[in-house]
Structure 1
Amino acid sequence: MKDCSPPEQVIFNRPAKYEFVKPLGHGACGSTVLLYDRQMDCQFVAKKFTPIIGKNEDPDLFDDLFNRFRDEAKILFGFNHPFIVRVYNFFDYGEHDTSYILMEYVEGQNLPDYIETHPYRASELFEKLIDAFAYLEKRGILHRDLRPANILAKTDGDPKVIDFGFGKSFSSDTEDKDSSISLNWWCEKPEELERGVYNNRTEVYFLGKIFEAIILSNQLDEFKYKHIISKMTAHEEHSRPESFSLIKRQISQLEVDDFCFNPRQISAYREFAHCVSNLFSSIGSDVYYNDDPEPLISKLKDIHRSSMLEDSVQSPVQVARALVTGQFRYFPRTQISISILSEFITLLETSGIERRSIVLANLFNRIDAIEKSTRDTDEIPF
């Protein structure tokens, strides 16, 4: 009998064929063209590595740009977010000093041009972009080239973040001090760039500056988040929101006025939030919040089940671990009534997506107010 199991190395020798449609543009690292796949009846963008400087002119710079190009493909390939451009394939022709990225074709305008003709969508686009950058932030990615041309608005009104040619992975406890950051800055630079620092707050600044310019040029008096923009565009790094996730929670909090909670639901939230506030003594600067509702509800229900015959939760640290990941200190004798926990679980379970988002945004903002602690380094040699 013939063995039908696949070989160790699978090779498709009938690759897709694409028809050239038109050129799209040229950047520091590559040129882009529009292609058409007749079999799939779909258009794609192919980006070819063709840098502005040749290998014989500056071999080190050429290699650096080539590595950035490959990094862009790696960074984007793992993304699956509706407001971030998708990469479908990568073809490496290193022996010919070039490579190709095959990506989603986004038909639309740059963000300022779109909002000029659709000013009523400005607040909605801001919300969606904050969500996109919170997604990047959670995955440890800095875009590092945030400018109006790199955010498109599709014909259906959804934004798309494109061009990660300068993108870079980062660790939450480090700052990017890459000396290669030497872009053509399109607006006033924030103060930390003078120190060679580029981090989350820098990304916050540049997205804020994009919207600040849009608001001014279109006189958007009805823009919903002007007060957030003013904080995002503060020149001093420490005066800005520390993350897109924090801004996302602030936006959710502002939407409370659009949703009515009955007295019992408000009481369920406040009593649980009060217990949580009393539980933590301090939280580490590197913690992140477990804000996905379904896993959180599941963890809280497990805690409730293991103590449901008692008056209070037997191990309150389990509640803390359900809410945050990272270092924190807590008061082990904190009393969290089983009935209070039960009411809060019911509140989450009976709420829709938006209402859950509001509840958790309020809760995590309350935790944000708790004293921040840094790592205790007294016990390590050096």
Structure 2
Amino acid sequence: QHCHRADIEWFAGLKPCATSSGLYFLRPVTDQPSLPLERIGPYRLVSEIGHGGMGTVYLAERDGDFHQRVAIKVVRGLLGADGLRRFRVERQILASLQHPGIAGLLDGGTTPEGMPYLVMEHIEGVRIDDYCDARHLTLAQRVTLFCRVCDAVSAAHRSLVVHRDLKPSNILITADGTPKLLDFGIAKLLTDDDADPLLVTSPSVRALTPEYASPEQIRGLPITTATDVYSLGVLLFELLTGERPHRLGTRTAAELERVICGQEARRPSAFVEKRLARELEGDLDTIALAALRKESSRRYQSVEQLADDLRRYLDGRPVLARPSTWSYRARRFVQRHRAAV
């Protein structure tokens, strides 16, 4: 059966496919093309595990004194001396990112044909949305897991690295429940920009996933940490409701401008059945919509603020995105101390 989910990654020897009920299963890939290379540097290529607009990812093994499995991404779109120079500079910055929630960048270089490649920690895990659904996580469990994703993004922001392409397929959950973020900063490598900081850039070449892209990405405006806040808002919305805040059809430039930049997102509670809607109404509706505001200056000013408000919700404390009225504070107090009251 052909898989209609274009954003689902391929894994070594297995291909995810959807049934008519919306469930997914893995089947062996019988039509996988032969590998174009046998080796890249000291690494022996095993199989292709993913491909997309930014390049192709291979499962590889390092031979020698120790055995190590890695993921190698051969990057497309970096041609010429300027592109390769930028690749080397950015690669060094990305290699310095050290956080348990971020898949590490181990090595990099160029193939004999001149194609840049990145050697990354190989993560065995499940997409965050599939993980939540398969384990029937409660609302609180989903929010708690999402906060751990925010912690990893915050750590990168403190190192002036913006992800630029946060989406479920770039967030895998390992067997022990640890979220791991993939491709951190890879989109930066495909931008035509010579600015030194990774925090703010003005890309003329945009590598993005439209469903998770912010209005400023669609319009080619400067990218800041608020861009990741927006993408996290889309992810939060999806984990809470099973839907994205905006539905795209043709994905033309005109539609992206009209929908992503012009249409306000509806409240998450409007997408679900009544029982769940009662849980989303109020705090979670407010938090998700605050992260999805069109103007970057009106969103949460940092990912830490977004995660802090979600933890306030989990603790039964007033969230900062809502007006601090006496009646609201009183309701939250009663909910926290229901037994005593």
Same fold (TM over 0.5): yes
Task: Give the drift of 1:44.
Answer: 1.2
Q: Residue 373 of structure 1 corresponds to which residue in structure 2?
A: none
Within a 5 Å distance, the mapping from 1:1-382 to structure 2 comes to: 18-37=43-62, 39-49=65-75, 51=76, 66=84, 69-70=87-88, 73-93=91-111, 96-118=113-135, 119-120=137-138, 121-163=141-183, 164-167=185-188, 175-181=200-206, 183-187=208-212, 189-190=214-215, 193-194=218-219, 196-217=221-242, 225-254=284-313
Partners of 2:89 and 2:50 lie apart in 1 by: 20
Task: Give the drift of 1:78.
Answer: 0.3
Task: Give the drift of 1:214.
Answer: 2.5
**C-alpha distance 193-245 of structure 1, shift in aligned 2 (>3 A):** same
Structure holding more helix per residue: 1
> Which runs of 5 or more residues in structure 2 are unaligned?
1-40, 190-194, 244-271, 318-341
Whether the aligned pair in 2 keeps the contact of 1:134 and 1:248 (CA below 8 Å) is no
Task: Give the drift of 1:209.
Answer: 0.5
Question: For structure 1, which segment, 35-44 or 217-226, has the greater mean C-alpha deviation from structure 2 after superposition?
Answer: 217-226
Whether the aligned pair in 1 keeps the contact of 2:206 and 2:220 (CA below 8 Å) is no
Larger Rg: 1
- Supply the RMSD in Å over aligned alpha carbons: 3.5
SS, match of residue 46 in structure 1:
strand
Partners of 2:80 and 2:213 lie apart in 1 by: 29
**C-alpha distance 117-145 of structure 1, shift in aligned 2 (>3 A):** same
Whether the aligned pair in 2 keeps the contact of 1:68 and 1:165 (CA below 8 Å) is no
**C-alpha distance 110-242 of structure 1, shift in aligned 2 (>3 A):** same
TM-score (norm 2): 0.57
Task: Give the drift of 1:69.
Answer: 4.7
Whether the aligned pair in 2 keeps the contact of 1:26 and 1:32 (CA below 8 Å) is yes
> Which runs of 5 or more residues in structure 1 are unaligned?
1-15, 54-59, 259-382
For residues 119-155 of structure 1, the C-alpha deviation after alignment (integer angstroms, 9 at most, x for no partner) is: 2341122111111111111111111122222222222
Partners of 1:17 and 1:178 lie apart in 2 by: 33
Partners of 2:223 and 2:122 lie apart in 1 by: 29
Partners of 2:82 and 2:168 lie apart in 1 by: 25
Partners of 1:65 and 1:228 lie apart in 2 by: 39
Whether the aligned pair in 2 keeps the contact of 1:72 and 1:166 (CA below 8 Å) is no
Task: Give the drift of 1:251.
Answer: 4.3
Task: Give the drift of 1:40.
Answer: 3.2
- Number of residue pairs the alignment of both structures matches: 234
**C-alpha distance 160-213 of structure 1, shift in aligned 2 (>3 A):** same
For residues 214-263 of structure 1, the C-alpha deviation after alignment (integer angstroms, 9 at most, x for no partner) is: 221185666785532221112232321111122344345556559xxxxx
SS, match of residue 186 in structure 2:
coil
